[in-house]
Structure 1
Amino acid sequence: MTKRNMNEDDPLDDFDARQITLDGVTKKVYVTGSGPGVIVMTEMPGISPHVARFSRWVRDAGFTVYMPSLFGRDGAVPDAEEGVAVFKRACVSAEFRAFAANESSPVTAWLRALARLAHQECGGPGVGAIGMCFTGNFALTMMLEPAMLAPVLSQPTLPLNDPGGIEMAPGELVAVKQRLDREDLTVLAYRFKGDRFCTAQRFAAYAEALGERFVARELPDSAANRETPPFFAKVVGSPHSVVTAHLIDEAGQPTVAARDEILAFFAQRLGRLAQQE
């Protein structure tokens, strides 16, 4: 993969920007690659160069990436002022449940439909998905779609007002747990130990709800990249984004090991041998 400057806006010119209409709702989705489908859901405040880089890693491992534009300015380096404005708009959007424990964000219904479409278009046993930050829990709710086989939760932050809450309707959570048991599936989840948005209490709540099906990884704060875009430096203010802004792209780093584990998880669940760079 060609190295790109993470401090410059990304033109996303190696993605096919598609307008996809599902259930009467149209969203832009950036698509690239071949092989089984993997849905990459952006963190706040949008599809940054770091999020696009992660999508390219997934693509280069042998998958078709579907990266929906859910908020923010696509390809932009996360600026503090602009990022806060995007965050505030998302918090009051009807598509999200930023402050509601025990409720699923309405946008997850559209994302489940996207998973069905990705499976139809790409074939294979099913699709994978990763949610990050604001979208972190969405991959779990998407397990209500039978095509979804490989859910990854990276620093799930919702609900914002309940550190130990789960942003998912109780009945849906029970249904997902039953499916995980029935089909012998697991959920991978990642956070930094000092993350003030994705807390240890939240991971404990997931573990209580899902039992051994919830496979948690907690990275030391020392593993986080200290050189981050303004939004993360000035607004987030703690280690947070495991496979994007706080990833240190060097061999032997814990964040790179987390990335590689996620790629291997997709490969194992979706029946694809990951390609080596």
Structure 2
Amino acid sequence: MFERNRTYTRVAHVFGALFLSCAALAATVPAHADATLDRVKAAVQKSLGADAQVKAVEKTPLPGIYEIDLGTQIVYSDAQGHYMLVGDLVDAHTRHSLTQARLAELNKIDFNTLPLNDAIKYVKGDGSRKIAVFADPNCPYCKRFEEALKSSSVTNVTVYTFLFPVLAPDSATKSKAIWCAPDRLKAWHAWMLDQQLPAQAGNCSTPLEQNLALGRRLNVTGTPTIFLTDGRRLPGALTATQLAQVLGTGK
């Protein structure tokens, strides 16, 4: 009986030591993985030089190929940064672009942190759905989007338009005139829909510099850029039908 107990004790010690060894090994795996990703990030950054900033690196389903997050773009690289793949990584079974899905996830924002007081507010219907738009007064696609918002198929929406003057030298001048008008929303619609600028110049304090800085932080690279309350962005001018579908499904 005594020998059997000693045997049980030795087995317990062996299994205990084995468990501790496995636990220690598991604890080192994330650190090792992080170190590998750091090495890949450094190698790719060295290859790309100062022309691009590598924000993050992740593994992909393809062995030896890494996802390189450049902020507004995702590319793929080997571990040494010697070779780059530019384009979409597609799941052959679902036909879905893994690249676009990752970009949408990486570029999500916290809608609740947007400084909405720095935007022109437009309420249509009960205003229950909300979107934020970065727009330039010289942007033809922004004007097309304003026309879509007027459509009867787009209902119950609140639109926050951040003036984002980046397209032309007089974009800032027009933005200031619109922001400083007695009725900003009326002035915005008059210009975007009817090509009528306010008579007075923009001599008030404006949030344009803050809007430009905000857009840079959010990787806004074109106008219009539309943000939904769930944080996703919709680049480009949507048609009234497309916008109604997005708002109608809550997406």
Q: TM-score, normalised by structure 2?
A: 0.30
> Which has the larger helix fraction?
2
Of the two, which has the highest radius of gyration? 2
